[in-house]
Structure formats: structure tokens, C-alpha cells
Structure 1
Amino acid sequence: MIEVEDLSRTFVVRRRTGRVRRTATEVRAVDHLSFEVERGEMVGYIGPNGAGKSTTVKMLTGILVPTSGRLSVAGVDPSRNRVDLTRRIGVVFGQRTTLWWDLPLRDSFELLRRIYRIDGTRFRQNLAEFCELLDLGDLLDTPVRQLSLGQRMRGDIAAALLHDPEILYLDEPTIGLDVVSKSRLRAFLREVNAARDVTLLLTTHDLQDIEQLCSRVMVIDHGSLVYDGSLAGLHTQGGSTRTLVVDLVDPLPDEGRIRVEGASVHKVEGPRQWLSFPTDASAAPLVAAVAASYDVADLSILEPAIEDVIAELYSRR
């Protein structure tokens, strides 16, 4: 569905160096980027501010023209086939709305039906399904300006999917939402992906969105792709570790530490000890070894935070 080959985009930034004089500097926002996304994939596209995420999405939607490289979305060149591509993609920006501010939500949907020339029967089917899944039924006659942020975001996502797009771009879709609203949106996106085989490219700073929605993640930094693979592989590359928290019945004498093969103690507080072990290792042999050698009151496993893994990747660069 998406093919990106050696893609680059540069901008010229002019800075004042005196009262009148200005100097021009070339900034490379995207630097020789290459990747492919298959139909039906849910891919997380993450990176720090200024990494090139939004520039990439703007080129994928045809808003920006690449400086160099090749780009194909749903079989067409986005910058040369904007009208055709618009009918095949949906876009949601978390900080902007595609809905009409002073109109009821129902009228916004009706206007989009006319803009995209959606068949009346299909439009009614989609609207009924999305209203049920996103709990929008009681909001259809409410002006958009009176909706809460979570309600408006649900409306924006429904609007982006009314014309049955093949690809959905989501830019910070859960920004500013409460826990309940985030959970509802994530469940809806999983349902749409499973039922309609919609390809989803998600850019976000909320890494829980990535963990709960995406089987694949791409990490971009300074316009270059620094990682492309599974979340498990990202943890391995980032050198992260899992933690086994052991509560002993009694503290070991002389502040002794648990000694088992495949793990090391990095913290001790009385009877509680924290043991680190690789993310790709099974916890079962470790738990069995600890239980066989020590009097254990309780055990728990802490998974590594994806935020720490990403931060480690950035720090290396």
C-alpha cells in the first residue's frame, strides 16, 4: 500500500545575520528514507519533535512534493494524483478538526458525503456502524463547538472513515484525551482494522497507543530511519531488560543478594530484591530457580518501559 524509496525533502531557511543581510541554510527534514507498508498493517511511526514525521505524512498525502526519491501510495504518486488519492485515504490530526465548527455533527457528516460522493446506502450503513462503535448517536444534533475534545476526536475519526478509505493516517489521535476516551478509540481502531483491512499509519508521542495497536514500529530521528521492526525487537536493540521483583520471607543475612544464573540483582531493600534479566529470555526458569533456592513470599515481573528504550536509541545517536 505504501512504498517509499530513498525519499528526501529539504527546506531553505533564511536567518537574519545583520540589520539587512540574511543567510540561507538548507535543512534536510527527511533524509534518504526507505520503507514499505503492506495492506492491513498497523504501523507506529515515532520520533522526537523535528524528526521528520509530519513532513513524511505530508508527502504521503500529496501536500508536499519530495525533493528526491520515489513515493507510491495505493499505486499512485501522491503529488501527481491528489484528487484520486484523497478518495482512497483518511487523515486525522489530533490538534485540528475536519468538522464544521458551528454545524451539528450530523450536518458535517452529510457535507462529507457530498464532497466524497458516497453512495447513500453505504453512507447510512457506515454512519450507523460508527455511531454504535464510537457512541456518537446522542451527539449527532450537537454543534461541533459544543463537543468535548474526546467527543470531537471520535467524530473526526468517523468522518475520516465514512468514504471507506484504504489507508488511514493518524497524527496524535489521542492527545489530550482521558483514559476512557483513549481506550474507546483504540478498541474502535482495532475493530476497523480487523473488519475492513484498513492500513493504519500512526504517529504519536503516546507510546501506549503504539503498544496496544501496532505490531510494527518505525523510529525516525533527524530524518533517517533508525529502527523498523517489531516491539520485541525494539526492546532487544535498545538493550532493555525485564525485572523480577522477589519478596523473600526474611531478608538475607548481611544484606546478601540472590544468586541465580541468567539474572543479576541491581537493588535490595530489606526482604525485597530486584533482579534484571534480558527481555528475550523466559522468566519461567528464573522464577523456578529462585523459588527452589530461597524462601519466597511473592514474585512479580516488571516489563521495560518503551519510553526508556526509545530514549536509549536517541542517546546513542
Structure 2
Amino acid sequence: MEAVLEFEKPIAELESKIRELKRLSDGGGVNVVGEVARLEGKLEQLLRQTYKDLNPWQKTQVARHQRRPHWSDYLAGLFTDYTPLAGDRGFGDDQAILGGLARFRDEAVMVIGHEKGRDTETRLKHNFGMARPEGYRKAVRLMELADRFRLPLITLVDTAGAYPGVGAEERGQAEAIARSTEACLNLGVPLISCIVGEGGSGGAVALAAGNRVLMFEHAIYSVISPEGCASILWRSPDFAEEAATALKLTAQDLKRLKVIDDIVAEPLGGAHRDAAKAIDRLGAGIAAALDSLAGKSPDVLRDERRRKFLTLGTAGVA
């Protein structure tokens, strides 16, 4: 049975009551239409109130929700004619970062993103979305292909961070992440980066140094996970909630700090409650971002992107 987030328990209880009443009504002999309508109105009000006031730790939990849309959902909902491209031409094919050629609203593009997996089998296959060096080297290869063939690049970021295992370090994890970030900055084509769930550490930045950075309303984006930050500062992951607040990892904080460009509104109650609507809204955001960059030369795109990231954090500095 799917775990219910602590702050969502009153919502889950009300949803359970509604389901039970509908079941009784379907069985015949009981007219509960009025009561169901009343409870559904109460549910909508509760969802609005709850999700209006989420704190950073609660948003972290929503960003990690197992029913949020995944890579495969975005591919099915936003892209057509997808042709996957595999391997880094050096070591192997990482399954945490996937990508290939596709069409977005009839325009040829390159799309790259993280896949966390949906159940035990696929999570192990995709290493929970934590890429190894060959994943970032594959991403660089696809970025260079996009640049060569003048294809806009769209990236979908959803990772707790790069894989920290010994083998990954032996194969040059830090260098691979740096090269991927550098490749983003060097592109002469539009790069639209979308933080759709977790944007963790350099493992996220390596795909997110875009001309436009979009972020879902309840996604998170930070230099380290709240648990990792708490383990360093307080020497205990028990302080993760405090760390989440201090990290300024919410879309609202990051928009204010100009780390991201636009916030994509999620359906009432989060993307996990209506994946199709969330995907449609992201598609509209991507289309608007691409339109805003249309006609710009490679040099202008490259220069704007570099200046965007080089000036982060310099506000008010003499």
C-alpha cells in the first residue's frame, strides 16, 4: 500500500470516506449524491488550504512522491517520434540518464532526462535516478549532437544527486559532471531545463545550466539534500526539516533569488494527483520558453546563458 505523507493524512481520510460512499451508492439502495458532493467540496477546500501553506520540508516530500510523473510519462505526453540514443562511447550505457531525438509540437529536438524508476525492479535498473560518469558523458555526446544539427535541447531533471559509489569516483564522476555543465554552457542552440521533481547537487546542475530554467511549483533544487546538509551541520539527519528551510530549495525561493526563470503551476494537490494536467502545463511552459529564444544566434544564446550563471549571487556586490 502506498505510504501517505504525514501532512496529507486528513486529506487521505476524507478521500477514503468519499470512496466508501461511492461504493455504497454503486451497490444500490443508498442515495448519497448530496453527501458525496458536500465532501468533495470540503476536499477541494482542504487541498487548497494545505498546499497553499506547505513548508520547505513538506515540499521536499511532495517532490519525491512516488506517483509524480516520470521520464516515460513526459515522453508519452509531450514528445513524438522518440528515438533513444545509448552509450557514452567510452565505458557503457548509464540507465539513470536517458535521451534521444524527438519532436516537440512538430519541432525536431533533443531531449535528455533522469529516470528514477517506478517500482523496485525499475528503480534498481535506473539506479534511483543517480547517474554514474557514463551517464553524464552520454549527455555530453547528445548535447554535442544537438549543437551539430542545430536542434533545441530540452532537459528533464529529477535526481537526488549523482551516484556517490567507489566505482563512479574511480571513473571520474566529478570530471564528468563538470564536462556536462561545460557542455551546457557552450551550446549554440536553445537549452530549456526543467526541474520536475528533485534537483539535487551537481548531478542536477549538469543538465540544468539552461537559457531558461523552469521549475514545478512543488519541486526542489539545492546544492545538497536536506538530509545530507543536516548530517554535515548537525551531525544528524534528524534535522532535515531545519536544513530544508535553510537551503532555500523551493521554487518560490529560487525564483526570488533568480536561480530559476519560471515556476510551472501544479494541479491542485500536486503533480502526483493529476499527472496529465501537470505534463500539459509543463509543455506550455517549454513552448513559451522556446518561442522566447527563437531567432537568436548561437553566439547570443551562448553569451546570454553564460552571463546568466556567472552573475548568480552577485546582486548588491560592488
TM-score using structure 1 length: 0.28
**Structure with more relative contact order (C-alpha pairs < 8 Å, separation 6 or more):** 1
Higher Cα radius of gyration: 1
Q: Which one has the bigger strand percentage?
A: 1
TM-score using structure 2 length: 0.28
Q: Which one has the bigger helix percentage?
A: 2
